[in-house]
């Protein structure tokens, strides 16, 4: 039976726009490779679709990861991009609508 999907990530066109509103944050949480040890992470921004975080752990692009965010808990994600100590992740599945309201006390103004 032929696959109806590809395991190979597709290229993203430069015209792609973010669909979710991002909030700037200064939240400390944790990040881990799927089923690995947890490491500290500082979440710099969050949206219902994803996040940007800084962490000392080396993460490769497209790695399956889990992130723990205060007031939200552990969530599954995929590393969409990495650069030095930064990682941009995409929640799988996206966060539920309104869940970011719990984080407004952590917002960086």
Distance separating alpha carbons of residues 40 and 55, to the nearest angstrom: 6
What is the total count of domains within the chain?
1
In a domain, 4, yes or no: no
Please, how many CA atoms are within 13 Å of residue 56, restricted to the half-sphere of its CB? Answer: 5
Q: What is the pLDDT of residues 58-87, one digit of tens each?
A: 999 999 999 999 989 999 999 999 999 999
Q: Please state the pTM of the whole predicted model.
A: 0.75
Residue-range definition of the domain harbouring residue 65 = 23-106
Average pLDDT of the chain to the nearest whole number:
82
The residue that leads in pLDDT, 105 or 39, is 39
In a domain, 7, yes or no: no
Helix, coil or strand: residue 49:
coil
Is pLDDT of 6 > 70? no
CATH number at residue 33: 2.40.10.220
Q: What is the pLDDT of residues 10-36, one digit of tens each?
A: 333 333 445 668 889 889 999 999 989
In a domain, 14, yes or no: no
In a domain, 9, yes or no: no
Burial 9-32 (b: 16+ CB within 10 A, else e): eeeeeeeeeeeeebeebebebbbb
In a domain, 102, yes or no: yes
């Amino acid at each position: 039976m032929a696959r109806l999907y590809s395991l190979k990530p597709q290229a993203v066109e430069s015209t792609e726009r973010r669909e979710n509103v991002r909030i700037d944050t200064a939240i400390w949480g944790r990040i881990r490779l799927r089923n690995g040890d947890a490491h500290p992470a500082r979440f710099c921004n969050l949206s219902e679709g994803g996040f940007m975080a800084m962490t000392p752990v080396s993460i490769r692009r497209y790695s399956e990861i889990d992130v723990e965010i205060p007031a939200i808990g552990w969530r599954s994600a995929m590393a969409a991009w990495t650069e030095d100590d930064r990682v941009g992740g995409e929640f799988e599945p996206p966060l539920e609508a309104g869940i970011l309201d719990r984080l407004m006390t952590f917002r960086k103004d």
